[in-house]
Amino acid sequence: MSNNTPAIKEDRILIIDYGSQYSQLIARRVREAGVFCEMYPYDIDTSRIEEFGAKGVILSGGPESVHDENSPKINQALFDLNVPILGICYGMQAMADHFGGKVQASDVQEFGASTIEVTGSSVLLDGIAGEKENRLDVWMSHGDKVVEAPEGFDVIASTPSCPIAVMVNEDKKYYGLQFHPEVTHTLQGDVLLSRFVHQVCECAGSWTPDNIIDMRVEQLKQQIGDKQVLLGLSGGVDSSVVAALLHKAIGDQLTCVFVDNGLLRLHEGDQVMQVFAENMGVKVIRVDAEDRFLTALAGEADPEAKRKIIGKTFIDVFADAARDVSQGSDGKPVEFLAQGTIYPDVIESAKSHQGKAHVIKSHHNVGGLPDDLQFELVEPLRDLFKDEVRKLGIALGLPHKMIYRHPFPGPGLGVRILGEVKKEYADILRQADAIFMQELERSGWYEKTAQAFAVFTPVKSVGVVGDGRRYAWVIALRAVETIDFMTARFAHLPYELIETVSNRIMNEIAEVSRVTYDVSSKPPATIEWE
Ligand SMILES: Nc1ncnc2c1ncn2[C@@H]1O[C@H](COP(=O)(O)OP(=O)(O)OP(=O)(O)O)[C@@H](O)[C@H]1O
Ligand SMILES: O=c1[nH]c(=O)c2[nH+]cn([C@@H]3O[C@H](COP(=O)(O)O)[C@@H](O)[C@H]3O)c2[nH]1
Ligand SMILES: NC(=O)CC[C@H](N)C(=O)O
Ligand SMILES: [Mg+2]
C-alpha cells in the first residue's frame, strides 16, 4: 500500500509523547499558536527524528517514574538536533535525569491547582505572572520531583512542596516545567507555550487556514501532476473539503465517487448529490452498491471484522469506478485515490504510533484498507484535527450547512447496528434516526451537539400497545458534545426533547418497543457503539 501525505515545509515543532493524559492538548495549543506540530511516541526511530526538521521539541508528561527500571529515556538524537527543548512534568524529570540532576519521589504528591512563585527571569515567564506579583496559577499532576537541577540550569520558580517548579538553561535553550502549561487550568499556559514556539524556537505563525490552503494546493499539484484522481466523496465535512482543495489544484482531473452502501441515513444519497450539484461544480458519480455491501457483511457480527469488510468493499467499488473513469479518459489509468482521512482517524487506528498504541477501532479508511491497495493515496487532511478542517472549509467558501454537519462515519449504519447487519434492521434504524434528527433540528439542539444518532440494538423487549403485547427491538439514542472527537461528553439534552423523540419512535415504528438514551462519555466509552 502506498501512503502519501505531502511533506510540509513550514516551521514545525516535534512533540515527544511519554504517555501523558494531556499529550494531545500540547499539540492543540501549539497549533492554536499558529505553528505546525506533530506528536510521536518516545521510541520513534532516530532517523525519523532527524528527518522531521523540528525547530523545537516538546517532551510530554507521562505516568512513569524515571527510577522505574524500564522507564522511557530521552533519545540523545533529540539533543543532537541543537534546537530548543521544553520538558513538561515527566519530560522535565527525564531531562534532569539525563543531565545528571536528581529526581526523587515526593512525600507530598501534587494533583490539581497550585501557585508557583517566580523568583528568577526567563523569556518564558517574564511579565506573564500577571496581577499577583511573581505568582502564576498552574495545574500540577505529579508524584516525583526534581530535587537537584543539573549543571547549567537555574531554578526560577517553586511551590512550597516543589522547590524546583521551573528550571532553565538559557544558553542551550532547555526548559523544564513541573506543571502542565497545556491544560486550561494553567491560566497563562497558552501564552507560555506560544512564547516557547515563537520567541524561543523562532517559528513563524504561518499555520493559518489561508496559508494551509495555498500550501496544500501546491503540494497536490506536485504530487498529482497531470494524472487522474478519484475521490471517495461522502458528503461529509472532510471529503467535501478535500473535493474543494483538489478542484482548486487540478480542476477536471478530479472525479468524485459517492457510494450508496445501503448503510446511509434516510434520503442521504439524494441530498448529497443535490448539494454537490448546486455548490461545487465537480464531477460526481453515484454508485449504488447496497447489495454488494450487505452481501459481504452477511453473517458477520464482529465489529472489527465488519469494519474491515466495509473498508475492503469500498476499495473494490472505487476500483471498478476507476476503470470506468479511465475508459472515459482515453484509457489512462487512474493512479490516485483521494480520501478525507483526518488526524483522529489515523491516531485511533494506531497508524501514527507504529504499532505501539492500542488499536481502538480500525477506521474504514485507515486500518480497514487492504494491504495490496492498487492506488497511491492522496490525503491532504491526514494531519489535521476536525476543527482545523472546518476552518479550511469556511476559508474555501463551502456552505455553512455543509461544514457544520455532524460527522457521519463511512461504515455508517454498519457500526450502529450492533452485531450482524441486515437490511430489515437498517430500514428500522433509518426511520428512528430520521425522527431523532428532525426533533434535534426543530428544537435547535442539532447545532448545540457535535454528533447525534440512533443505534439499533439486536435486543428485544416487551411493550404494551392498545392492550396488546409488543415484543420488539430496542433503539438507543446517542448525542455528544466534543470539539475534536478525541474525548466527548454525552449531551445533556432536555428530558422533554428525549421524551418527544422516544414517543415518536415507538409510535411511528411498529418494530420498536423501547428507547434508551446513552449517558456514556468518551473515555471510557467511544462515540460510536462499535
Ligand atoms: N459513502 C461514501 N462514498 C464514498 N466515499 C466515502 C463514503 N463514506 C466515506 N467515504 C470516504 O471515507 C472518508 C472518511 O469518512 P469520514 O466519514 O471520516 O469523512 P467524511 O464523510 O468526509 O466527513 P465526516 O467525518 O464529516 O462524515 C471520507 O472522507 C471519504 O473519502
Ligand atoms: O469515517 C469514519 N470511519 C470509521 O470507520 C469511523 N469510526 C468512527 N468514526 C467517527 O470518528 C469519531 C470518533 O468515533 P469513536 O469515538 O467511535 O472512535 C466519530 O465522529 C465517529 O463517527 C469513523 N469515521
Ligand atoms: N504528569 C507527569 O508527567 C507525572 C510524571 C511522574 N510520573 C510523576 O509522578 O511525577
Ligand atoms: Mg462521513
pLDDT reported for residue 523: 80
Active site residue 481: no
The catalytic position among 10, 37, 89, 142 is 89
Type of residue numbered 223: Q
Q: 108: buried, middle or exposed (CB in 10 Å: 19+, 13-18, 0-12)?
A: exposed
Q: Are 249 and 208 in contact (CB under 8 A)?
A: no
63 C-beta closer than 6 A to ligand 3: yes
* Cell output for 480: 455528544
Q: How far is the CA of 231 from the centre of ligand 4 (A)?
A: 13
CATH fold, domain 7-200, is: Rossmann fold (3.40.50)
pLDDT reported for residue 132: 61
Enter the pTM of the model: 0.78
To which residue does cell 523569556 refer?
Answer: 123
Q: What atom of ligand 3 comes closest to residue 65's alpha carbon? A: 7
Q: Which of 297, 360, 381, 527 to mutate to test ligand 2, by most ligand atoms within 8 A of the CB atom?
A: 527
Question: Distance between CA atoms of 304 and 361, rounded to whole angstroms?
Answer: 7
- Residue closest to 8 by CA, chosen among 53, 70, 59, 58: 53
Active site residue 89: yes
412 C-beta closer than 6 A to ligand 3: no
For the chain, the domains span 7-200, 209-404, 423-517
- Residue closest to 279 by CA, chosen among 441, 437, 400: 400
From the centroid of its chain, how far is CA 512? 34
Give ipTM to 2 decimals. Answer: 0.86
Length of the chain (residues): 530
Q: What is the DSSP string of 436-471?
A: HHHHHHHHT-TTT-SEEEEEEEEEEEEEEETTEEEE
Q: How far is the CA of 22 from the centre of ligand 1 (A)?
A: 28
Q: How far is the CA of 483 from the centre of ligand 2 (A)?
A: 14
From the centroid of its chain, how far is CA 263? 23
pLDDT reported for residue 152: 97
- Give, in words, the CATH class of 209-404: alpha beta
- Residue closest to 271 by CA, chosen among 246, 250, 240, 295: 240
Task: Write the DSSP symbol of residue 488.
Answer: B
pLDDT reported for residue 4: 47
260 labelled ligand-binding: no
The catalytic position among 10, 110, 182, 530 is 182
Q: What are phi and psi of 101, to 5 degrees?
A: -80, -175
Confirm whether 209-404 and 423-517 share one CATH topology.
no
182 C-beta closer than 6 A to ligand 3: no
- Residue closest to 134 by CA, chosen among 148, 122, 146, 147: 122
The CATH label, of 2.130.10.10, 3.40.640.10, 1.10.10.10, 3.30.300.10, for the domain at 423-517 is 3.30.300.10
Question: Distance between CA atoms of 213 and 284, rounded to whole angstroms?
Answer: 22
Q: Which residues lie across from 185 on neighbouring strands? A: none
237 labelled ligand-binding: yes
- Is 167 strand, coil or helix? strand
Active site residue 180: yes
To which residue does cell 499556559 refer?
Answer: 189
Question: Distance between CA atoms of 380 and 301, rounded to whole angstroms?
Answer: 33
Q: Which residues lie across from 468 on neighbouring strands? A: 465
238 labelled ligand-binding: yes
87 C-beta closer than 6 A to ligand 3: no
**Residues with a CB atom less than 6 Å from ligand 1:** 232-234, 236-239, 257-259, 261, 339-340, 345, 365, 407-410
- Residue closest to 449 by CA, chosen among 477, 411, 416, 473: 477
In tens digits, the chain (530 residues) has pLDDT values of: 344 454 556 899 999 999 887 888 899 899 999 999 989 999 999 999 999 999 999 999 999 999 998 999 999 999 999 999 999 999 999 999 999 999 999 877 888 889 999 999 999 998 887 656 789 999 998 999 999 999 999 999 999 989 999 999 999 999 999 999 998 888 899 999 999 999 999 999 988 999 999 989 999 999 999 999 999 999 899 999 999 999 999 999 999 999 999 999 999 999 999 888 887 889 999 999 999 999 999 999 999 999 999 999 999 999 999 999 888 777 778 999 999 998 877 766 654 444 445 667 777 677 666 677 789 999 999 888 888 999 999 999 999 988 999 999 999 999 999 999 999 999 999 999 999 999 999 999 999 999 999 999 999 999 999 889 999 999 999 999 987 777 789 999 999 999 999 999 999 999 999 999 999 988 889 999 99
424-461: string of b/e by CB count within 10 Å (b at 16+)?
Answer: ebbebbbbbbbbbbebbeeeebbeebbbbbbbbbeeee
Q: Are 168 and 124 in contact (CB under 8 A)?
A: yes
Question: Distance between CA atoms of 216 and 25, rounded to whole angstroms?
Answer: 24
Q: Which strand (E) or helix (H) includes residue 76?
A: helix 76-80
